[in-house]
Amino acid sequence: TIKDTTIINIPKVHDERGSLAVIEKDAIPFAIKRVYYLYDVPSDSYRGGHAHKEQESVIIALSGSFEVIVDDGKLKKRITLNKPTQGLYIPTHIWREIDNFSSGAVCLVLASTNYNESEYVREYDDFLLSKR
């Protein structure tokens, strides 16, 4: 459920030369199989709009900000991501949408699976049916 979508704090090392954030294997609740990122996203763009049967994800605003709506079919919450040291963990079977991208925003996604269209749920009605 929505309660399982949690913020992961990513440790960082900061000094006068700048900041370095590091994600080690144990910081993430799954083994990372794939990394992808969204960039050059127009501010009025809407991304996501699907759930996953198998994929677990961690979403990070590497640069800029955007908002993620997570929905378990009963409850929804809107979370602003705007720090490269915060990751939003999203388990399977959670509908997600991403909007309000700032200019220059980069949305990094750590994923537990390889890309496989057949594990996507892209119709909201199918998502709700799968929850009953």
Provide the annotated active-site residues.
50
User: With binding defined as CB under 6 A, does residue 93 bind ligand TYD?
Assistant: no
Q: How far apart are CA 94 and CA 130, in angstroms?
A: 11
User: With binding defined as CB under 6 A, does residue 37 bind ligand TYD?
Assistant: no
Considering the complex, state which of residue 50 and residue 131 has its C-beta at the smaller distance from ligand TYD. Answer: 50
User: With binding defined as CB under 6 A, does residue 97 bind ligand TYD?
Assistant: no
Q: Which stretch binds ligand TYD (CB under 6 A): 12-20, 42-50, 60-68, 82-90?
A: 42-50
Task: Compute how many residues bind ligand TYD; rule: CB under 6 A.
Answer: 6
Considering the complex, state which of residue 18 and residue 42 has its C-beta at the smaller distance from ligand TYD. Answer: 42
Considering the complex, state which of residue 39 and residue 115 has its C-beta at the smaller distance from ligand TYD. Answer: 115
**Facing residues of 98 across strands?**
47, 68
Contact 13, 23 (CB under 8 A): no
Q: How far apart are CA 62 and CA 99, in angstroms?
A: 15
Q: What are phi and psi of 81, to 5 degrees?
A: -110, 125
CB contact burial 115-128 (16+ within 10 A = b; e otherwise):
eeeeeebeeeeebe
Residues in contact with ligand TYD by the rule CB under 6 A: 36, 38, 47-48, 50, 115
